[in-house]
Amino acid sequence: MIDLRPARRLLVRLVLAGLFLVAAVQAYRLALLPALLALFEPGEAATGVIRRFGILVFALASYFAYVRLVEKRAAREWYPAPRAMLTAAAAGAALISITTLSLFALDAYQLSEYRGLRGELVRVASVILIAATLEELVYRGILFRLVEDAWGTTPALWLQAAVFGVGHLENVIEQATPLDIAATVLSCMLLGAFWALVYVWTRNLWVASLNHAAWNFAIVLSGAPLSGLEEWRAVAPIASTVQGPAWLTGGIFGPEASAITLVVLTACLVLLWRRTRERRRRAAQD
């Protein structure tokens, strides 16, 4: 007889975690945020900062509350690890730079204008950090972690990676060809699996978040599209033009869908997976 208890327990916990998250974020957006805006009357730029930062704080608070009340434990995966976080940020920027620098070297990307660093990049960096942290909270902190607890690391790895990949189609779906769709899903699945393994290796969601954010910000600095989004290219320190086949340049999704990135991510996944298995084997022998 099939034991359905793990599946039922997983479903209940996914629903509860989602309810905690949605309730906290909506409470902030619909109640506290309007009150803050009415009280302080900030400008447009400050309003954006208050809105995004508040959503992040309430989302994290909901996670801590869920873990404490439902799982009956401390959320140690969100405890700061400064050295590992800095290392992860440097690694994230370096990994995607393998692709962007290679594309410039191959003339697939060409420098058309140097604008220099702008103050607007600080705002962009904060938006990217908050967005990356929220994605890590949802995909790795909730979906991956709960599925891993129920069914193990491998099913959780690829289930959340598939959801992560499909979830990014909205960035390109209106103008995407079938090839663009396939490349987008594949690249985002590999990225989702990679960041899940970063979490498995470190068991720290700040580490995964900083790696994710630095990866994204390095793309913005290169003047290329970020996950199919063009809006931040205007504030990049350089302007670049794209030429060459989509399989090399990444097409409308940007360098994340380049064949170079897919090779780099595959190599990272193999390395992290092997090291994770070796660590578990040693732990089992001790």
Half-sphere exposure of 95 (CA within 13 A, CB side): 25
3-class secondary-structure state, position 185 = helix
> d(Cα 43, Cα 23) in Å, to the nearest integer?
27
Half-sphere exposure of 68 (CA within 13 A, CB side): 8
In a structure prediction context, what are the per-residue pLDDT tens digits for the chain, which is 286 residues long?
445 678 899 999 999 999 999 999 999 999 999 999 998 888 887 888 899 999 999 999 999 999 999 999 999 999 999 999 999 999 999 999 999 999 999 999 999 898 888 888 998 999 999 999 999 999 999 999 999 999 999 999 999 999 999 998 888 888 878 888 899 999 999 999 999 999 999 999 999 999 999 999 999 999 999 998 888 888 999 998 888 899 999 999 999 999 999 999 999 999 999 999 998 888 777 6
DSSP-derived secondary structure letter, 137: I
Tokens matching residue 170: 């909205």
The 10 Å CB-count burial string (b at 16+, else e) for 44-68 is: eeeeeebbbebbbebbbebbeebbe
Place of tokens 């360098």: 255
Place of tokens 């959503």: 55
Half-sphere exposure of 229 (CA within 13 A, CB side): 14
* Contact (Cβ atoms closer than 8 angstroms) between residue 254 and residue 96: no
> d(Cα 115, Cα 120) in Å, to the nearest integer?
12
> d(Cα 58, Cα 21) in Å, to the nearest integer?
8
Q: How far is CA 22 from CA 28, 61, 73, 252, in A?
A: 10, 12, 21, 32
Task: Work out the widest C-alpha separation in the chain, in whole angstroms.
Answer: 66
**Residue whose C-alpha is closest to residue 172's, from 158, 161, 182:** 182
